[in-house]
Amino acid sequence: TEFISANDLASLMDVSVNEVIKVCMQLGMFVSINQRLDAEAITIIADEFGYDVEFMTSEEEQALEEMQEENEEDLEERAPIVTIMGHVDHGKTSLLDYIRNANVTAGEAGGITQHIGAYKVKTESGRTVTFLDTPGHEAFTAMRARGAKVTDVVIIVVAADDSVMPQTKEAINHAQAAGSPIIIALNKIDKPGANPDKVREELSQMNILVEEWGGKYQSQEVSAKTGQGIPDLLEKVLLEAELLELKANPNRQAIGTVIEASLDKGRGYVATMLVQTGTLHIGDIVLAGSHYGRVKAMTDHRGRKMKEAGPSTPVQLLGLDGAPQAGDKFLVMESEREAREIASNRSQMQREQSLRTRKHITLDEIGRRL
């Protein structure tokens, strides 16, 4: 099959078509401007210009297209996905703990969050909200970025007895880059040294002006210890989410994002996935990044078995042939053969990439120039 013309390929790579033709000639390929190229030619040419090419199969392409142009009548309301971000120790996990009425913090080594946790919670008012808890530690920038990407609303937690800190700023930047609405939780209000106005002032200096001060950002004083203000915070989150009119089609094959994945000695590869649209079922064939597999089992964050998972639902999934990367998209496919092919193409591409990187480093180390 032929894909695109030399001219189109040139514009995708942001170079002139003459350069493409010149490189082709050097490689012994004679192409004209409007000549359509096959996958092999595209790969070779792109490589010369430093690009890796990924070819999407029709099924995968179709699924992603369908998701974008869903029929209005197929859409149903879905729970908001809310990500909690902020500086280390400002109380993100404690806040979520209080909301969940469970004790997550106690189960974490050293109390420092090192993964993204995903939880579906029913609020007192009977509404369902999916929360993602992110680590505040500076080493986890990528996770904050990912958390901001899959989310509908971001809660930025700032300890009122502390200040706006580097990872507070970073979290705000990620949320803004992702275009997510932001709500500020001024936490630890129970502490004697709490000074929420100081935090509001610091936020205003980075153009985050809260509503009480005439700005557009909702904020709420809370205590994850006493629970003060938390119902109000949830109300504000739900209000913000309502404005977004969040919908998805539960009656289609699932599409979503890998939150994290690892190898568990007893159970094999375990992946935490967030279903964003459609419904995931036991037995579905899942393609996730450069891995695939048939869903063997699904559990919620408490380890309870699930048979299916609809939109905005996080699940722990067993059955993949490896650990996809956090942030990878996943989708359900009809054909196991096609899923396997795409997965193996992708992992081969990754291997080649890492091989190239290694080669490059070796050359550098012995001081040779290319």
Residue positions forming the annotated binding site for GTP: 86-93, 133-137, 187-190
Instruction: Considering the complex, state which of residue 132 and residue 339 has its C-beta at the smaller distance from ligand GTP.
Output: 132
| Contact in structure between 133 and 93 (CB atoms under 8 Å) | yes
Instruction: Considering the complex, state which of residue 148 and residue 224 has its C-beta at the smaller distance from ligand GTP.
Output: 224
Q: Does 187 bind Mg ion (CB under 5 A)?
A: no
Cα angle: 304, vertex 308, 311; to 5 degrees: 110
By rule CB under 6 A, what string of x and - marks binding of each residue 157-196 to ligand GTP?
A: ------------------------------xx-xx-----
| Contact in structure between 156 and 182 (CB atoms under 8 Å) | yes
Helix (H) or strand (E) run with residue 255 in it = strand 255-264
Binding partner of 137, given ligand GTP, Mg ion, none, CB within 5-8 angstroms per partner class: ligand GTP
Binding partner of 168, given Mg ion, ligand GTP, none, CB within 5-8 angstroms per partner class: none
| Contact in structure between 98 and 230 (CB atoms under 8 Å) | yes
Q: Looking at 42, 82, 92, 208, which residue binds ligand GTP (CB under 6 A)?
A: 92
Best CA proximity match to 56, nearest among 361, 358, 367, 329: 329
Q: How many Cα atoms are found within 13 Å in the side-chain-facing hemisphere of 348?
A: 9
Q: Does 167 bind Mg ion (CB under 5 A)?
A: no
Q: Which residues, 6 or more positions from 261, have their beta carbon under 8 angstroms from its beta carbon? A: 269, 270, 271, 272, 288, 320, 323, 324, 325, 326
CB of 40 to ligand GTP, least distance (A): 48
Instruction: Considering the complex, state which of residue 247 and residue 301 has its C-beta at the smaller distance from ligand GTP.
Output: 301
Best CA proximity match to 113, nearest among 134, 131, 144, 94: 134
Binding partner of 349, given ligand GTP, Mg ion, none, CB within 5-8 angstroms per partner class: none
Measured CA to CA, the distance from residue 324 to residue 317 in angstroms comes to 12
Instruction: Considering the complex, state which of residue 103 and residue 348 has its C-beta at the smaller distance from ligand GTP.
Output: 103
Q: Does 306 bind ligand GTP (CB under 6 A)?
A: no
Best CA proximity match to 135, nearest among 164, 92, 193, 178: 92
Q: Does 290 bind ligand GTP (CB under 6 A)?
A: no
Q: Looking at 93, 130, 219, 220, which residue binds Mg ion (CB under 5 A)?
A: 93
CB of 154 to ligand GTP, least distance (A): 14
Measured CA to CA, the distance from residue 81 to residue 314 in angstroms comes to 10
Q: Does 113 bind Mg ion (CB under 5 A)?
A: yes
Binding segment for Mg ion (CB under 5 A), chosen from 52-60, 92-100, 117-125, 338-346, is 92-100
Subset of residues 222 to 261 that bind ligand GTP, contact rule: CB under 6 A: 223-225
- Residue 294's alpha-carbon distances to 97, 254, 272, 288, 317, in angstroms, are 33, 13, 15, 11, 10
Binding partner of 301, given Mg ion, ligand GTP, none, CB within 5-8 angstroms per partner class: none
Q: Looking at 5, 93, 130, 218, which residue binds ligand GTP (CB under 6 A)?
A: 93
Q: Looking at 2, 18, 111, 216, which residue binds ligand GTP (CB under 6 A)?
A: 111
Binding segment for ligand GTP (CB under 6 A), chosen from 91-99, 169-177, 209-217, 360-368, is 91-99
Q: How many Cα atoms are found within 13 Å in the side-chain-facing hemisphere of 3?
A: 16
Q: Does 147 bind ligand GTP (CB under 6 A)?
A: no
Q: Which residues, 6 or more positions from 186, have their beta carbon under 8 angstroms from its beta carbon? A: 158, 160, 194, 196, 199, 200, 219, 220, 221, 222
Per-residue DSSP letter, 74: G
| Contact in structure between 338 and 346 (CB atoms under 8 Å) | no
Instruction: Considering the complex, state which of residue 158 and residue 246 has its C-beta at the smaller distance from Mg ion.
Output: 158
CB of 137 to ligand GTP, least distance (A): 6
Give contact residues for ligand GTP (rule: CB under 6 A).
Answer: 86, 88-94, 105, 111-113, 135-137, 187-188, 190-191, 223-225
Give contact residues for Mg ion (rule: CB under 5 A).
Answer: 92-93, 113
